[in-house]
Chain A
Amino acid sequence: EAGVAQSPRYKIIEKRQSVAFWCNPISGHATLYWYQQILGQGPKLLIQFQNNGVVDDSQLPKDRFSAERLKGVDSTLKIQPAKLEDSAVYLCASSRGPTGAEKLFFGSGTQLSVL
């Protein structure tokens, strides 16, 4: 079974530029999450999708961050404009349903550096 795929692996941009990350979850997984992991901290949930609908985006900085999950499969997370404090690893995770945390699978992440 293929894992959660994320791209790009690394991204370096200057502040005020825009950037987008892509995630392809495990086939058949209805629930998809984006987490932000700042260096020295644990992953922090940004947004949860169930199929193509947003379940929880309460911790997403909506003035600059946006996310979508078209057709309930792939998802993109966008930052526009980026700030220095957005430097972090962005992790995508997926599962078959919203309950059963042991069944949550993470991708390798996209490491973003904002200069």
Chain B
Amino acid sequence: DQQVKQNSPSLSVQEGRISILNCDYTNSMFDYFLWYKKYPAEGPTFLISISSIKDKNEDGRFTVFLNKSAKHLSLHIVPSQPGDSAVYFCAASVGGNEKLTFGTGTRLTIIP
């Protein structure tokens, strides 16, 4: 039972354009959502998060949007840079604790 889904295994975007990565969840108990970035041969690193009491959180070039009614969140990267090429995981938890349920990941490739 995949409770967190990332339906796009890969995405290619031109440098300077907007990258939009999507994530859907099924468990209504999830109230905290995070995005992690993973480079090859490294562990995932925290990127940005959002609580269910918000619908948007912004940090520099990264913005996460949450649509609770649709159980959907998205990560926007503007402008996209070559260093953003990585695998991005969406993750969810209950109560902000660290027992995370991860999605399957989206491989983002930024084309120079």
For the complex, give the distance between the alpha carbons of A98 and B100 in Å: 11
For the complex, give the distance between the alpha carbons of A95 and B103 in Å: 21
Contacts A42-B4, A42-B105, A93-B43: A102 and B34 contacting too (C-beta < 8 A)? yes
Check if A104 sits within 8 Å of B46, measured CB to CB: yes
Check if A56 sits within 8 Å of B43, measured CB to CB: no
The interface stretch among B65-73, B76-84, B91-99 is B91-99
Q: Which residue of B lies closest to A104 (CB)?
A: B98
Interface size class of A (residues with CB under 8 A): 20 to 34
Taking CB atoms and an 8 Å cut-off, the chain A residues in 71-115 that contact chain B are 91, 93, 95, 98-109
Contact of A56 (CB < 8 Å), options: B32, B42, B45, B99: B99
Contacts A43-B89, A101-B91, A101-B93: A109 and B43 contacting too (C-beta < 8 A)? yes
Q: Please list the residues of chain B having a beta carbon within 8 angstroms of any beta carbon in chain A.
A: 4, 6, 9, 32, 34, 41-46, 49, 89, 91, 93, 95-105
Mind listing 6 A-B residue pairs with CB under 8 Å?
A42-B4, A42-B91, A45-B101, A100-B96, A102-B49, A106-B45
